[in-house]
Structure 1
Amino acid sequence: MTVSETEQQRLQALMSYTILDSLPEAEYDAITQIATHICQTPISLITFLDDERQWFKAAQGLTLKETPRQYSFCAHAIQTPTQLMEVMDVRADERFAQNPFTLTDPPVIFYAGVPLVDEDGQALGTLCVMDHQPRHLSDQQATTLKSLAQQVVSLLKLRRSQTLLSQANQLLNDTNALLQAVVSSCPAGLTLFEPVYSNGELTDFKYVFTNGANAVIAGQSVEQMTGSTLNTLFATAVTAGLFDRLKTVQQTGQPLHFQWQVTVGHGPIWCNISMVPIGERVLVCVQDISQLKRTEQQLQTQTENLGQHVAERTLKIGQLSAWQNAILEHAGQAIVSTDINGIVRTANRAIEQLLGYKPEELIGCVVQIEPGTPENPVPLVSYHPSSDLPTSELLKMALETDGFFHTECLILGKRGQRIPVFMTASTLKDEGGKVTGYVGMATDISALKAAEEKAEKTSRELKIFFERALDLHCITSLDGHFLKVNQAWTETLGYLAEEIEGHYFLEFIHPDDRNESLQTYQTPVIDGFVNRYQHKDGSYRLIQWRAKRYEKLIYSSARDITERKKAEDALRESEQRFREIAENVDEVFWIQSADPFQLLYINPAYERVFGLTSQSLYDDPYSFLNSVIPEDRPMVEAAFERYRQGEEIPVQYRVRGRDDLIRWLNVRSFVMKDSGGEILRCIGIASDITSQKEKELLLQQSLEREQELNKLKSQFVSTASHEFRTPLATIQSSVDLIELYLDRPEATVRPSIQRHLTVIKNEIRSFDELLSDLLTIGQIEAGKLVYNPRLIDVPMYCQGIIGTHFHQRPDNRTVRITVEGTPVPSYLDDKLMGHVLVNLLSNAFKFSKTDPELHLVFKPNQLLISVIDQGIGIPFQDLPHLFQTFFRARNASSIQGTGLGLVIAHQFVNVQGGRLDVRSEEAKGTTFTITLPNYHGHADFSH
């Protein structure tokens, strides 16, 4: 929705309340009165904004009835409907600084407005307060102002409800008039029927007479109906019971009245029918009451709507009453109402906090106001239990004159204390305008009085500060004339105060600086402007200014910076010499200020080494981190924070330069301090030590490689010695036992000898497998492993391996093979792949008690072979080391193995361009997956 559409909706909502240009109403005036006294402002308004103007429904402290919308403060307030808009000093706000009401005398300086938002979220206007001096609403004042704004919205809702109710009543009257007009202007249809007999039996009725109104009702002409029978013209009417009713009236002689709905040529109509016997004939009076029926229905609907409107109005009036009671109950101001004689009738809870009286203690007391004395003219308000005391004439006279007055006074508390308050009183009137009592509101201003005393003390302190300050302080008029200067002007420029005050400021300024100084003087705020002021001895001093415009005066503070400027010029010349040196060295060199932490200089070497522009570092002192490689960045960030705190740090880290090369830098920082130990500058030097680091890295890598080889050598010797010694020991033991058995009878020892020979054969086979694995490891490390791929049928090849190595196992377990996708021939080294599959399937049988699964997955360009078991699994912490030489998982130490099988399998898969992955969970099983590129031919091996 566009802005114009949103504003159009807001204006439509405003028009629906018919509030614009309405006459003054006491309810709205009372709200602005309360707002004025609660917020302690001279002006309070209830405003509504149409498309061109701001119109005031109620106003306190302002005689205008409306203003152009373009100058309205409230037009800005309704832009944020849910918030109170408070501007403590509108002159400092660029939206209002040039507003005519800001520039008038007296000007509007303070503004606070609460948007009046209806139930549909439309901001119709505001309840606002204004003052001629800067101020700030307290939380309590802001809350009360919002509550009063809600009460204004409630009054608007009630106004619209009353309007709708009046409109509903008018519609009801119009409907009744319309009904009467319909009945009086539509003559009834008249028909005289004559009975028709056949064979002595009444069979029909004939139209003897009918009038035009009846013809219109029946949808026929008078000529067509006269002489015709009912059955001929309206057969449906006969079947619908009209004939039977005519017959009953004709035969009984009793009249009959009824309503009947009948369908004629132009549609169904309602009729009010009266049948009166006239001899043997029957006179029928037909009145078309279709419109009456429709009107009755409309009347019923409107009556229901009216009842709903009345209920809604009653509810809203109840809500308004509840809100009013809530304001009285929870308002921060003490509120008391009296009758015409000044006898207290009501008091809210705030009276107890202010005076110590409970509300019920004041009921029936008489309010008395004693005028003040010449020495202390503030009136004294007190409450007396005697009802014989007359009402204070001061109160009567003030209220009978204007119906409203306010004053600062003292109120006598329950304990006799005199409490300073700001009291507001107004009359209460009945509907006839007769005064029936008074209502008073008292706001505790004890804090305000204390603040006034404090302000007076502060004023004295500021005067002392102004006169004795080391800086030049002055007050000037808007036209540039000195009104007040302090003693520092004499000490700095040699002039006495009377030699400066009353003079135009440009008289003291160097001629070359006058134009710029005059232009700067016109700005509301001056900060850091420097010009040359003439000393009384004729020389010129550099003066730096700060100034701010407040109301019709300009308050300024200045400082003599002549000596500082000379020092800066000398420093600048020194820096120039420094740059000539710094910009021609290979090291990166920089200088940063300590407070604020800001880069002062970086030499050109930075762009070459870091690959970033120098400007980027001036813009963001952290931007150099973008070149630091991620691994070193946390360390560099921590060092940089210590550097920012003024700590001298040595640090080495890597950066990626513009040429995408990684450089090692050695960074050192130094701190410059003043005589008092305060840090002035942080200086840093970064040297490129890449070549040195590369040499160190080569040495480190060589050392680590040598250490790793020594570790592997030791591990190999230890493991190999164990693996060789174990089968040899077993063989030696079996040989010794066989020699022992040779001295015994052959028949008794032959089975034992045969058993030990079997053990020797098994150990020799294991010994041979270990030697074979060691030779294979040697071939792999020497790079002599031969890879001879050929096109093979993978499923058939796997079936062959299973049949050769895992057929008819003693435990009757077998390998379950599954195939996913369309099998195609693939290029594999059958010898290497056979070694891999045998090793993985052997492990699956060794480490599980269920049937392992061999799962083949054929994809367009990839072959996946998975060996799955439900065995003991591999501990999570052992998985990273699984393919290291001689490594055995910690839960497999009791199961035979050398720790070489998976290493060889891993290398055999790699040499074929594949990848061997493992996924395992301890006590749940293991899955080894071989991923190979599926380079295949065109022969069809599917089955």
Structure 2
Amino acid sequence: MNNKPKYMMENKFKNKRLKDLHSLKLLDTTPEKEYDTITSLAAFICDTPISLVSLVTDTRQFFKSHHGIDITETNVENSFCDYTIKVPQKFFIVEDARKDNRFKDTSLVIGNSSFIFYAGIPLITKEGNALGTLCVIDHKPRKLDEKQLEALTSLANQVVQLFELRKNRLEIKEMANNFADESQRLHTIISATRVGTWEWHIPSDKINLNERWAEMLGYTLEELKPLSSESIQRLIFPKDFETLTEKIMACLEKKSDFYVGEHRFLHKKGHVVWIHDRGQVVSWTKDGKPLLMAGTHTDITELKNTETQFSTITNNIPGAVFRYQRYPEGKDELRLVSNGAKSLWGFSAEEVMQNNNLIWERYDDKDLKAHLQTIKNSAVDLSFWKHEWRYHHPDGTIRWHKGFGNPVRLKNDTTIWDSVIFDITTQKENELKIEKSEKRFKGLVQNGSDLITIFDFKGNYNYVSPTSRKILGIPSEEFVEKNALEFIHPDDKETFYASLLSLKNEKQVAIKPFRFKHGDGSWRWMETFVTNLMEDSSVGGLVANSKDITERKLTEDKLKKSEAYYRGLYESQTNYVLRTDMDGNYTYVNKKFVEEFGWLYADEKILGNNCMGSIMDYHHQKTQETVGQCVAEPGKVFKIEIDKPSSDGRILTTLWDFVCVEDSDGKPSEIQCMGLDITDRIKSEKALKESEHRYSDLFQLSPQPKFVYDMATLKFLDVNQSAIEHYGYSYDEFMNMSISEIRPESEIPKFEATLKRAQEKGKQTFLGEHIHRKKNGKEIVVEIRINNLTYKGKEAKVVLVTDITERHNHMKAIEAQNERFRKIAWTQSHEVRAPLARIMGMVELLKVDYTSTKEKELLLKHILFSATELDDIVRDIVDATQQEEI
């Protein structure tokens, strides 16, 4: 019972294949150069003595082309080619048939032929039927490389193209036979068609008509009498009267030899009759005046209606109908293009008829060469043209087009195709989707992570996918003719079987996870969905899709055990912990969050309420933007500061980590958040910033030069405006200098020694006098005071500079003056005192009475000498003082 659908399906495919094969009418045909060229090329490429194009029926294989052997057919039984068209692989290769159980005892191997090596590729038509093979054969074992296999594939495609070409030719031949019959019928109809005739004797205005002329308009000749140009005028459709009159007058005035036109006449019943009207002056008077005019009328009403209908049809076909004309020299053009051109090509019919390069320029480069070749081939043998290609539409899309055309050769060797092109983009996309879907389904079944099985209501297996080896450690063939209950844990069998029975009333059921015995003896937890496809003849069973969820079960058990632990951990957190769904509604909050913000919600019931209720209005937009970033990059943590209301009326500043979590399908499912109160920290940081700002002002606005330098590199890190003005360097120049560069070279050793002493003395050091050099080269004497500090993460020193150059010079002047005073005092105490003492002593001697006159004169002389000496000393002191002042 289970094999019947498969048997019926195989017969169906077989009959379809044979029908396709017989339709080609290739069996028992004579050799053809096209096929022989391909087999010769295949043998050459593969370096084999034999190559065949084999057409396989149900009883024999006919060699349409046989290179290297003379036979034209063999029995199909045990043939290599019969295997080739049945195997699903692209190639069927037997490297050494003597070692292959299928062929080693056959006459092909052990007989005179001794076919040892075989490589064949099925010839599959576009309908999916394998009609035969292209194969190469050798009398010794061998292998083919990848390039040879690719070449065989290309040649096989060429054979299939020859099949399609033959099929098209047969179709065209049949169409031609039909067209010939139709042409004969049309000729008979045309021969039997009656034409209306008329004659107009112009001088007498007498008109003669035949019966057919009157009949076209629904009259008899008697009803139209008396006939004259005036009575005929009444039968002409008013809007066509002027045009017809102009054509007749052109003939009467010898401006035209004849006239031809399509004009409307009025039928007796009131409707319009389209007439193909032809006339000319057939007789003239001797003086050159028109005498007799004659012509014919043909009823073309039906033709006109048909043209209108055809125009309506072609203009409403979802594609373009046109005539393509190609001249012998290669020039081509489009004619009679329908309105569908605009939708198909993006250009109007008028545009493409004027310049068909608008279309050619938009053909896909990959398809253009093959497309032109199909036109060339059709022109050569006048075969029915058909092709598919890609077209770059002006709207930016790439579309698939498919065209058909029937060629006709004109006498001047010009070829025309009456053609139609359709947009098959949707069809192509669907074909690609189906192809991808089929490949994906096959890949999922054979290589996926799921186990696919088919069994009956008793649990007997009909099919097990190859993934059983990977999932259960058991090859799929070991399940054949076994029952699923043999592998299910005893405690789970009853539940499993009950679920199967429920499928008699339901289409699909999810079976509760059960344990299934692994090949290594362990039990694996399986999750299974079963669908009832007993009524589907192609399946005929219950289809189960199973997954190994053992690891998930173990994980779930671990999660259950750890859930209580983590919940307790969250509840004991001093930080806020919460989760929301994708709409912002709380799904979890910890105890800390409830204590702080539960007062915002009735009865402190927070879950289910929206999180925006606990956020200050001015931070709503910022919060929503952060959530949007989380959703765009799931798993990435985003930080955000949010102000929240406090129960005591204050505003709390909180810092949060937001992260978006995805569900098992990879879709964002919730936002997890962890936050803490940073209100006090923000206040401290604010106070620190204000303090830093105040100190920055003190630094920058100080009237004394200040600068900061790096203790490691001695590079300037910052200078104030006073330093820039005092030293003459710009801020940028300072930033590229070290503190050594504002000192003369003679001061460097002293500076290095000072740095060393400053480090030894500690944080704050008065370092005395130093010499600095300004940008203009002038040297100044400064006092500096240094403090240690951390500046932008670096160990640095801040230096206060006092310029004492003037004070230093003043002190030097005072010291010099003091030195002079010391010299004067010394002079006073030593040089002045000696003559003064002598004068004073001699004055005392003058007071003595016993002093003689001579002695007195001598004393006076000595007094005068001492006084003169004293005067010289005083004069020297005065001179010395005046010189210093100068």
Give TM-score scaled by structure 1 length: 0.30
